Amino acid sequence: MKERIRKLNFERKPIMILLTALLLSSATAVAEDHVMAATKAASQQKSHPESLSLSLQEAQDYAVQENRSLRNASLAVQEAYAQRWQTIAAMLPQIDGSYSYSNYCGYSATMSTAMGEFKIDMPNVGALGLTASVGINAQGIIGALLNNIAIDMKRLSLEQSERDIRSSVTTAYVSVLVMQDISQLLDSSLSNIQTLADMTQKTVDAGVAEQTTADQLLVRVNTLKNNINSTKRNTELAKNSLRVLLAVPAETELTLTQNVDELLSADAILALLGEDFNINNNLNYQMLQKSTELAEKNVHMAGWAYGPTLSAAYNYSNQQYYGEGGMRMSPPNLIQLSVRLPLWSSGKRAAGVVEKKIAYEEAKNTLAETTDNLGIQYQQLRFNLQNAYETYLNERDNIDVTQRIFQSTTNKYQWGAASNLELTNASNDLISAQSTYVQAVMTLVNAQVELKKFLNN
């Protein structure tokens, strides 16, 4: 009866071990599913639309959703979570199971004694083992805290990447709008000059005017055509930059539903200039804070290299002999407790502590210097925006004035009240004003974007 009970216990234990292994495997699969859940949407390929009609906000949101660089930054956050779980799991119980089968092919061991030799049969044997162990030290705990800081830094990096994407979309969006406006203005100017050139050529043909006058107008027509072609190429270049940010192919037709005046309104500029600066909202400052905190934790990590490591282990083993005979030399259950304390490393650990302390001091100095400089940087960015806005208003008025002058000079020339030189000068002034206006708009947009990023607005 005892032998039967022993065999039943032996048969049940493998079943329990197998169930435990299955449960652990299931838990691992669930954990992997949890970690990879955020990556499934990113890996799915979507068909791109043939055309897009977008406001600036819609373009920014679309870029944030589709941009691959930002997607990688999001995956980096998930990667940091997985790394933290690895650190925590290393301090949790680890369970290993094993099973081995040995066949001695009918071999019998021969033993010699004073009473003579006798043989011991070596039956086939199956060995089942189960080991559970756990080890913990202070460095492992601090390592988990370091992983938490790493996660925060990855999140800040993700937020910074999103800000950069939105800022780049703003710049590209406004560039397209400005180039489109300038192209329309040049088309109108070309139409007027072309009309005058045709009219002058007719007077030349009639013998009323000289060919030189018509040729000068023809040169002006060709100059405007070159400027128009250059503007259209720059417009397409700006659109391609926007397509890259939106992660759409070159064939996708883009329609922008807002204009420059909407995006560069006085209310928005003045509201941004009047916003108070809170250093805790600045992403660079937050990142430096986390870096300093990380350096401090590294000092603790290096210091706890002197700390003990506590370990515990349980080992279960059993053997099943398939045949007569066999000897059981090891106990089926074994519990081990151990404490490991480092005693001497020839100064290696001490040097490690000194190194981390120096790195911590450097991080604190960098944080203090940045704190002092951020206030100055804020004032400079406000000055840049205010100056850029005033320049933009002046250049916007200038382009209206030069356009009116050009139109008036064109009318005068048509009726013989203005010379060819006056018309040429008016045309040159208009082209120069257009170029200066484009530069003023882009300077204003960049100043607005930089201040928004600085304020984390």
Summarised one tens digit per residue, pLDDT across range 91-119 is 888 999 999 988 878 777 777 777 777 77
Q: CATH number, domain at 169?
A: 1.20.1600.10
The stretch 174-194 carries a mean pLDDT of: 86
Q: Within a domain: residue 76?
A: yes
Range in 154-158, 215-219, 257-261, 337-341 the model is least confident about? 215-219
Q: How many domains does the chain have?
A: 1
The stretch 238-252 carries a mean pLDDT of: 90
Cβ-contact 91, 116 below 8 angstroms: no
| pLDDT score of 181 | 86
289 SS3 class: helix
How far is residue 37's CA from residue 94's CA, in Å, rounded to a whole number?
A: 25
| pLDDT score of 91 | 85
Residue 65 has pLDDT above 60, yes or no: yes
Q: Within a domain: residue 64?
A: yes
How far is residue 307's CA from residue 300's CA, in Å, rounded to a whole number?
A: 11
Q: Within a domain: residue 31?
A: no
Q: Look-up: residue for tokens 């949890």?
A: 34
Regarding predicted confidence, which is higher, 139 or 78?
Answer: 78
Q: Which amino acid is at 441?
A: V
- State the pLDDT confidence band at 327, using cuts at 50, 70 and 90: low
DSSP string, 135-171: EEEHHHHHHHHHHHHHHHHHHHHHHHHHHHHHHHHHH
The predicted-structure confidence for 263-289, as pLDDT tens digits, reads as follows 888 888 888 888 889 999 999 999 999
How far is residue 171's CA from residue 139's CA, in Å, rounded to a whole number?
A: 47
Residue 13 has pLDDT above 50, yes or no: no
Q: Within a domain: residue 370?
A: yes
Q: Within a domain: residue 106?
A: no
The stretch 207-215 carries a mean pLDDT of: 78
What residues form DSSP beta bridges with 319?
127
| pLDDT score of 46 | 56
How far is residue 201's CA from residue 218's CA, in Å, rounded to a whole number?
A: 9
| pLDDT score of 227 | 86
Which residues constitute the domain of residue 361? 46-93+138-307+347-455
Q: Within a domain: residue 50?
A: yes
Q: Is the dihedral of CA 348, 353, 359, 365 positive or negative?
A: negative
C-alpha gyration radius of the chain: 39
| pLDDT score of 218 | 86
Q: Within a domain: residue 377?
A: yes
Q: Within a domain: residue 13?
A: no
pTM for the model: 0.73
Among 441, 447, 444, 442, residue whose Cα is nearest residue 399: 441
